[in-house]
Amino acid sequence: MSDLEEKHGDGNYERPETEKRKLTKTEILTAVAENRMTPEEAAPLLATPVAGGRNYALKVSKKGCVSLYGLNRLPVTLYAQSWLRVLEMSDQIKQFIDDNEDELSWDKDDKESRGKPKVEAE
């Protein structure tokens, strides 16, 4: 439990009202430097999306796995050999997505761009 959280009389921990807003990267790094937050607590906060895009980070988990932060709210964590198998299958995964595009769910405007630059209609 970090010092950024305070204990209430009922034994529950909660961030103080002043800390409920989103912390800036500078505030997070300062909290780590002042030992008010552990590096493990800071890592997912530093990997959150920034304005205008996403900020991805790779970390080694406590159990020695590879964790990808920034893709979703929680990290995607796999053993190294599993990541290598997924990477080896990247062409198959892309083809599967293309073949099943109409059946798949997409985030907001991602279906239109699918990682490709948007082309303005003239």
The DSSP letter of residue 4 is T
What is the rounded distance in angstroms from the CA atom of residue 98 to the CA atom of residue 108? 18
What is the rounded distance in angstroms from the CA atom of residue 24 to the CA atom of residue 30? 10
Whole-structure pTM value:
0.47
Residue bearing tokens 């906060």: 45
Tens of pLDDT, residue by residue, the chain (122 residues): 444 444 445 544 445 544 445 777 778 888 888 888 888 888 887 776 554 456 788 999 999 999 998 888 899 999 999 999 999 999 999 999 999 999 998 876 555 555 544 334 43
Question: What would the two tokens of residue 57 be?
Answer: 């980070």
